Amino acid sequence: MSVYRAVQVSGSGDFAFVERELAEPLPGQVRLRVEACGVCHSDNLAVAGMRPDPSAPIVPGHEIAGVIDAVGAGVTAWQPGDRVGVGFLSGPCHTCDSCRRGDFVNCAAQPTTGTSIDGGYAEVAYVRASGLVRIPDGLSSIDAAPLLCAGLTVFKALQQTGARPGELVAVQGIGGLGHLGVQYARSLGYRVAAIARGPEKAPLAAELGAEHYIDSLTTDPAQALQALGGAAAVVATASDSASMGPLVRGLAPRGRMIVVGAGGEPVPVDPIAMIFGTRSVTGSLTGSPIENEDNLRFALRQEIRSMNEVMPLSEAPKAFAHMMSGRARFRVVLDTRG
Residues 13 and 131 reside in one and the same domain: yes
Task: State residue 1's pLDDT score.
Answer: 72
Alpha carbon distance 323, 145 (integer Å):
15
Q: Residues 264, 280, 273, CA angle at the centre, nearest 5°?
A: 95
At how many degrees (to 10) do helices 289-302 and 152-159 cross?
100
Domain annotation covers residue 210 = yes
Mean pLDDT over all residues of the chain?
A: 97
Confidence of residue 204 (pLDDT cuts 50, 70, 90): very high
**Span of 130-144, 221-235, 262-276, 294-308 with lowest mean pLDDT:** 262-276
Alpha carbon distance 253, 230 (integer Å):
8
- Contact call for residues 177 and 284 (beta carbons, < 8 A): no
Task: State residue 264's pLDDT score.
Answer: 81
Looking at the predicted structure, is the pLDDT value of residue 199 above 90?
A: yes
Query: Residues 191-207: what's their mean pLDDT?
Result: 97
Alpha carbon distance 145, 143 (integer Å):
6
Residues 267 and 320 reside in one and the same domain: no
Share of the chain above pLDDT 90, in %: 98
Residues 91 and 60 reside in one and the same domain: yes
Residues 273 and 298 reside in one and the same domain: no
Task: State residue 142's pLDDT score.
Answer: 98
Query: Residues 210-223: what's their mean pLDDT?
Result: 98
Residues 53 and 144 reside in one and the same domain: yes
Domain annotation covers residue 205 = yes
Residues 38 and 100 reside in one and the same domain: yes
Alpha carbon distance 236, 238 (integer Å):
6
| Domain carrying residue 12 | 3-148+287-335
Task: State residue 239's pLDDT score.
Answer: 86
Bridge partners (DSSP) of residue 172 are 195, 236
Query: Residues 35-53: what's their mean pLDDT?
Result: 95
Torsion of CA 97, 106, 281, 198, to 10 degrees: 180
Task: State residue 211's pLDDT score.
Answer: 98
| Reduced DSSP (H G I as helix, E B as strand, rest coil) percent helix, strand, coil of the chain, to 5 | 30, 30, 40
Task: State residue 157's pLDDT score.
Answer: 98
Task: State residue 317's pLDDT score.
Answer: 98
Q: What is the CATH number of the domain that holds 317?
A: 3.90.180.10
| The amino acid at 291 | E
Alpha carbon distance 119, 114 (integer Å):
4
> DSSP class of residue 163?
P
Alpha carbon distance 320, 184 (integer Å):
26
Q: Residue 289: exposed, middle, or buried by beta-carbon count in 10 A (0-12, 13-18, 19+)?
A: buried
Query: Residues 179-207: what's their mean pLDDT?
Result: 98
Domain annotation covers residue 68 = yes
Query: Residues 11-20: what's their mean pLDDT?
Result: 96
Q: Tens digits of per-residue pLDDT, 273-292? A: 999 999 999 999 999 999 99
Task: State residue 262's pLDDT score.
Answer: 87
Looking at the predicted structure, is the pLDDT value of residue 338 above 80?
A: no
Domain annotation covers residue 104 = yes
Domain annotation covers residue 107 = yes
114: left (phi over 0), alpha (psi -120 to 50) or beta: left
| Buried b / exposed e along 222-258 (16+ C-beta atoms within 10 A) | bebbeebebbbbbbbbbbebebbbbbbbbbbeebbbb
Domain annotation covers residue 153 = no
Residues 172 and 101 reside in one and the same domain: no
Looking at the predicted structure, is the pLDDT value of residue 173 above 80?
A: yes
Q: Tens digits of per-residue pLDDT, 61-119? A: 999 999 999 999 999 999 999 999 999 999 999 999 999 999 999 999 999 999 999 99
Number of domains in the chain: 2
- Contact call for residues 185 and 166 (beta carbons, < 8 A): no
Alpha carbon distance 289, 323 (integer Å):
25
R_g (Cα) of the chain, nearest Å: 20
Cβ contacts of 310 within 8 Å, gap of 6 or more: 142, 332, 333, 334, 335
Residues 135 and 190 reside in one and the same domain: no
Residues 68 and 201 reside in one and the same domain: no
Domain annotation covers residue 37 = yes
Task: State residue 263's pLDDT score.
Answer: 81
Q: What is the CATH number of the domain that holds 256?
A: 3.40.50.720
- Is 0.75 topped by the overall pTM? yes
The enclosing H or E element of 129 equals: none
Residues 224 and 320 reside in one and the same domain: no
Q: Tens digits of per-residue pLDDT, 222-254? A: 999 999 999 999 999 998 899 999 999 999 999
- Contact call for residues 201 and 174 (beta carbons, < 8 A): yes
Domain annotation covers residue 320 = yes
Cβ contacts of 262 within 8 Å, gap of 6 or more: 41, 42, 239
